[in-house]
Structure 1
Amino acid sequence: MNRKLLINCDLGEGYGPWRMGDDALVMPLIDQASLACGFHAGDPLIMRSGVALALQNGVQIGAHPSYPDLQGFGRRHLSCTPDEVEALLLYQLGALDAFCRAAGSAVAYVKPHGALYNDLVRDDELLRAVLRACAAFRHGLPLMVQALADNTRERRLAEEYAVPLLFEAFADRAYLADGRLAPRRLPGALHTDVGVILEQALAIARGEAFADIDGKPLRLVADSLCVHGDNPEALAVLRRLRAALDGA
C-alpha cells in the first residue's frame, strides 16, 4: 500500500442556513480539506468554522475557489478571461487566508472547483492564469490539478511559474480513457456503491489499474485522493479507506 497517498475532501460547501455533508464527522478521517471560498458555496461564518475544524484535527487547509456561480454550485462554465480568472483566484485566496491567519495558520494549497477545475485541463491560458495567481499570492504555494494518463502539459506550464503541483485522483468518479473525469451528464459518472468506490480508491493507492467508464484499464499516479463530501456514502468510504491506508 502506498501510505504517502493523502485523502482530501471538498468541505465548507454550505451557505447560510443550508448545509451540505457532515464536515465534523469527515474531518478526522482526512489529511486535506479543500474549503469553499464563497463563490460556489461557503460564507464567512462557514469559512471560519471550517478553518477551526481543520486545525483542531491537524488537517491541511486548501482553498477551493471557483467561478462566481452560487446558483449553479460552480459547475457551469463561465466565459471569463484569463485576467478575470487570475483576479477571481486572488480574491478568494485572500478571503480564506484571512481566516487562516486569524487562527495562526495559512492556506496550504489551492484546488480549483467544478467547471473551473475541468476547464484547466483543456485551456492553457486559464491554467496559466491560475498558476500566476498561485505564484503571486505566495511563492511555493502548490496547485492541485487532475492526475491524467499524461500530465506533461501541466508540469511544463507549472515550471514556467515555479508552482509546485499536487496531482489528484477521485475515488467516487468515473474516468474517460485519457484520465479526464467522465462528464456528470453521463450515466455512471458518479459512483455511489461503497464497494466500487473503495475498490477504485485502493487500486489508485496501490498504483494499480482500475476500470474506466468503458471498462478498460486505466492507471493514474496521484499525490492525493478525493472523496466528495456530498457523496451520500462519503463517511462509509472514508472510514474504510482511512483504515486501509493506515494499515489497520
Structure 2
Amino acid sequence: MNLCYGCAMVLLRAFFYVSSPEQELCFITGKGIWAMRIEMNNINKTIKGVSLLTDINLALESGHIYGFVGDNGSGKTVLFKVLLGLMHKTSGTILVDGREQKDLMQDVGFIIERPEYIPYYSAKKNLEIIAAYRKVADDQRICTVLEMFGLDPSDKKAVGKYSLGMKQKLALSMAFLEDPKVLILDEPLSALDADSVQEARKRILEEKERGKLVLIASHYPEDIQSLCDEVYWMKSGHIQLQ
C-alpha cells in the first residue's frame, strides 16, 4: 500500500468529513449564520437484545450548545455515533431541516473517543494529510487552528511523543479544521490543564456566536453547564432534560 494513502486512511477513519456545497452560507450582521434544525425522532439502538438507546427525541438548532451528561455506558457516545452515521440506528428518523437523513455527516467536525493519529508525524503534518484529501483547509487555516488550541505549527515533535493534553489539543484542532457547521465533541475538555480548558471553552462559545450547532458530552456536569443552553442527562440509554 502506498505510504501516503495508508497514512490518510488512518486519519480519515478517525476524522471524516463530508462537505455540502449545496448548503449556502448567509451573512447576517457580519456573522456567518447557518439555519439548521436537526430532529431525532424515536431513535432506538439495540445490539444482541441489549438496548443502548431508547426512544430518543431531540430537536437541535444552530446557534445553540447542547450538553449531554452521564456515566460510562449511559449512551452519550452511542447517541453521537448514531447521529454521525458511525453506528446504524435500529429504528427512528433523523431529520435535517425537515428532510430525512440516514445520518448527519455533512459539514461536521467531531471528537469521538480517542482519535487516531500518525504517531511519527508532527501535529501540522497530520492535519496537512487531512487537508490534502479534502482540499478545504489551506496552510493558513491549519496554522490557525493549531494556534487556537496552544500548539505550535512549527513544532516538529512527533505526535506519538505528545502528552495526553497535547493530543487532546490536536483532537480539537482536527474538529475545528474545516470550519464545520456542526461540532460534536465527546469529552472535549478531557486531559486539558486549567488554562487550556478556559481557552477551549472560549473557542466553543465563539462558534456558537458564529451560528454553529454544538453538541458536547461529558461525565461531569460542571465541565459543560456554563457552556450549554440546554443540558440533557442520560442513563441506560434514556434521556431527560435537566
Q: TM-score, normalised by structure 1?
A: 0.32
Bigger helix share: 1
Bigger strand share: 2
Q: TM-score, normalised by structure 2?
A: 0.33
